Amino acid sequence: MKKVLVILTTLVMVLFLTSCLNYKAYDVPTEDNENDDDLDLIDEIAEIERQLEENDLVDDEGTDGLDDLELDEEETDSIEEIVSEDDEELEADLEEEITVDMDEESSVDDGVLVFEVNENELIELGVRIVDPDGDDVTYSFSSPLTKEGSWQTNYGDAGEYYVTLTASDEIHTTTQEILIIVNRVNVAPVIKAVKDQTFDEGDIIEFEPEVSDPNGDAVTVEISAPLSAGLFNTDHTSAGVYEIMVTASDGELETETSFMLTITDVNELPVVSGLKDIVVDEGETVVIEPTVTDLDGDDLEITISAPVGNDGVWETGYTDHGEYEITITVDDGKDTVFEIVTVTVEDVNMPPIIENVDAEVN
């Protein structure tokens, strides 16, 4: 019916303009002429209405039946153009009210818009909303999107997320279901950088690297010797420089890092044992035999003070009675160790000895 009214209105305008154009500039209109023109126009409109009723001019296709009208070619073309424009406007009104534009390709599954992104990508949904009444429309997205339709995904967000887009003109509300599929992107584990470290021999070293996985995967960590177990009890033989390798794997990807571990040599002092104070009588032999050990295996220089001497043996005489402090010195080239042994020589009273008797005869 709407199209019929449009056609009739247009036809009236066309006929009116045509009649006006047919006037001669020098004609002087009279009352009789005006009445005749009006009657002719009324008769022509009545004829058009009759033909419309008979031929059912406007059907579902829009312009069928125009050929049956007694119109000239120019009038027919004008009517068809107007009807065509009206059809386009009607089709625009019937368009879907909400459309979602995105650079990413989307698909539709049972009325649900589907978008795919990869972990750690930014998704932004652009919305175009058409309101046939020209009303102001507000819209919002449900989480995990922001209300404006964006979401910065992270590693570990893989999965399917159903989102609802809601548009409202404060009277009516329209919704659109959206499925966002976040594809998993595996990333290698991350090992926090380890600075080079220095310890002394004898220190106990505990080491546990800081490892994380952006995807939240289980991670296996391996450490090279001598920190394989994460614990290193250093001793006098541990001095040196070690490159420690740390490897972290999620079963698919792995990460490696390294640092230098320096164990500083700490000299182990020589140990002197087997010494005790000595008491002898004059005339007896003093023997000092120290037992010396060195954990570092250093070359040792051992000296024993007089009157014993470095060979550790002293043959006492009958005038040697007294008390002596004998110093044993051990030098490993780095440090020196001193030990003191007290040697007491007891006085022994010996009978006089007649060495010779001479006789002189005169």
Q: Which tokens sit at 48?
A: 């058009």
Domain 190-264 has CATH 1.10.10.10: no
Q: 98-183 adopts what CATH topology?
A: Immunoglobulin-like (2.60.40)
Task: Report how far Cα 335 is from the mean position of its chain's Cα atoms.
Answer: 54
Q: 271-346 adopts what CATH topology?
A: Immunoglobulin-like (2.60.40)
Cβ atoms of 332 and 267 within 8 Å: the answer is: yes
pLDDT band at 358 (very low <50, low <70, confident <90, very high): confident
What tens digit of pLDDT does each residue of 274-289 get? 999 999 999 999 999 9
Report which of residues 110 and 315 the model is more confident about.
315
Return the ∠ at Cα 148 (arms to 146 and 151), rounded to 5°. Answer: 40
Mean pLDDT, all residues of the chain: 81
pLDDT band at 22 (very low <50, low <70, confident <90, very high): very low
Question: Once rounded to an integer, what is the mean pLDDT over residues 130-157?
Answer: 94
What tens digit of pLDDT does each residue of 295-317 get? 988 999 999 999 999 999 999 99
User: In the predicted model, is pLDDT for residue 101 greater than 60?
Assistant: no
Q: What percent of the chain is modeled with pLDDT above 70? A: 70
Q: What sign has the CA pseudo-torsion 5, 6, 7, 8?
A: positive
The DSSP 8-state label assigned to residue 68 in this structure reads G
Using CA atoms, how far residue 50 sits from 42, 46, 60, 225, in Å, is 12, 6, 20, 106
pTM greater than 0.75 (yes/no): no
- How many other CB atoms sit within 10 Å of the CB of residue 223? 16
Cβ atoms of 224 and 244 within 8 Å: the answer is: yes
- Unique residue bearing structure tokens 């080079």: 196
Strands 173-183 and 112-118: parallel
User: In the predicted model, is pLDDT for residue 73 greater than 90?
Assistant: no
User: In the predicted model, is pLDDT for residue 152 greater than 70?
Assistant: yes
Q: With left for phi above 0 and alpha for psi between -120 and 50, is residue 208 left, alpha or beta?
A: beta
pLDDT band at 333 (very low <50, low <70, confident <90, very high): very high
pLDDT band at 172 (very low <50, low <70, confident <90, very high): very high
Report which of residues 271 and 65 the model is more confident about.
271
Q: What percent of the chain is modeled with pLDDT above 90? A: 64
